[in-house]
Amino acid sequence: MAEDDARRREQDEDDAELMFQGVARQAELVRTGKTTSRALVEAALRRIGRTDPVLGAFRVVLAEQALAEADARDAAEPTGPLHGVPVAVKDELDVAGQVTTFGGSANRTPVAADSEAVRRLRAAGAVVIGKTTMPEFGQWPFTESAAHGHTRNPWDTTRTPGGSSGGSAVAVAAGLIGAALGGDGGGSIRIPAACCGLFGLKPQRGRVSTAPNAHLWYALGTVGPLTRSVGDAALLYDVLAGSTPTDRWSARPATTSWVQALETPPGRLRIGYSVKPAVPGVRPHPEHVGAVLESVRALRELGHDVREVDPRYPDATAPFAAQFCGGVRAEADAVERPDLLERRTRRTLALARLVPESAVERGIRAGERLAERADRMFTTMDLLLTPVVAERPRPVGALDGAGLLTALARSRPMVAYTALWNVTGHPAASVPAGLGEDGLPLAVQLVGRRDDEVTLLRVAAQLEEVRPWARRRPRPPAA
């Protein structure tokens, strides 16, 4: 018995070492014959089986399908930069043969084809291992739902991982997978990245296709990965970037590979910093203020001109609310069993039906005007540095028994620094900044000019180099 336990511990340590490598290194190991796609998938499946019953990161695990895909990858020549690497996908994106639940139980029929983002991952050689949890329609910055329960932070399973891409964040942070796709309509990549100690970039609006849908919550939503390193994020965006004719929005095409762009230092930049929230009536936690100030010190040591600024944020409440209502209504109208929506979602939907489509379109136009105002901030600085969230991660159960108004009130501190940039479309990223006194991750947000993800990535990579947070690993309990 003791020998069996020792072998299991050794196997788990080997699996963890492999999964925490990240996707770029995993792809290199497959390419050089040091491991196989099947070995990667088997390691991920063992990790998922051991810890996910506690964490709740996956809505469904595609074990047999993923193993078959891995065998096919091992039998073929490399097809792209992710050849043989297992990845996970948030459950608002279509995966062929699976139900797209949007975090609820109102859909029952599997979809016939992959979404464009998933198609591009497969074309690059990736293996889809499962779909990750989210709150219904991604409405909340807490990954909790009546259909799929609570998703737990691997650093402290009594705490939330944030949301709405919480399942994807937990899967990566816990070393169940090297990278996972998420979506960000108000902070839903950056918030869970901050809570779980990951790098999470919300790209420029239209950078990644939302097809087969024309949009994701109108102008608010973007698709992107959660990763443990800036380099992994750059690699994935090289794979994912690009629009289709059905996309309502498209970003200015990148002129070079983002992985290659990271090889060039950013030079001396003007970086403004502020701990002032974009939402009135919210105060940042002292440790989040401290994380910003520590990042200021690090950036100055790196040679940047870093100065405190007053961003004079525009009020984005009305355009955000209009598009939020329009997005929830559009997704709810597309489900098969609206009678199975959560009660809180039905209340949101009742409110959303009072907002006509013309108001949503006015919200989009108002957001564009706000984007032009925000652009003026970047005439005197290259990047803006802020906190990501105002409060520390709440205990799990933030939505338990909460009606619509209570859920909205509890969400405000989580989106106080992030939602504005969904309205304007600017790229913004959550960059890890150590651990707080509670043992949970700290993070800061970098915001860049429109279509300038490269500068943001280069500075995030510099911070990663001087603060090698990627080596820190949570130890989630086994089931």
Catalytic residue among 37, 145, 188, 229: 188
Reported as a single tens digit per residue, the pLDDT across 87-114 is 999 999 999 999 999 999 999 999 999 9
Fold of 10-245+259-471: Amidase signature (AS) enzymes (3.90.1300)
Catalytic residue among 37, 115, 145, 164: 164
Query: With 70 as the cut, is the pLDDT of residue 1 above it?
Result: no
> Which sequence spans correspond to the domains of the chain?
10-245+259-471
Q: What is the mean pLDDT of residues 244-271?
A: 95
User: Residue 477 — very low, low, confident or very high, per pLDDT cuts 50/70/90?
Assistant: confident
Q: pTM of the entire structure?
A: 0.97
Query: With 90 as the cut, is the pLDDT of residue 215 above it?
Result: yes
Distance CA 147, CA 444 (A): 32
How high is the pLDDT of residue 471? 60
Quick check: is 168 catalytic?
no
User: Residue 79 — very low, low, confident or very high, per pLDDT cuts 50/70/90?
Assistant: confident
Please report, rounded to a whole number, the percentage of residues in the chain having pLDDT higher than 70: 99
User: Residue 62 — very low, low, confident or very high, per pLDDT cuts 50/70/90?
Assistant: very high
Lowest mean pLDDT among 104-118, 366-380, 463-477: 463-477
How high is the pLDDT of residue 469? 63
Q: What is the mean pLDDT of residues 53-78?
A: 97
Catalytic residue among 37, 90, 243, 430: 90
Q: What is the mean pLDDT of residues 175-196?
A: 98
Quick check: is 90 catalytic?
yes
Quick check: is 164 catalytic?
yes
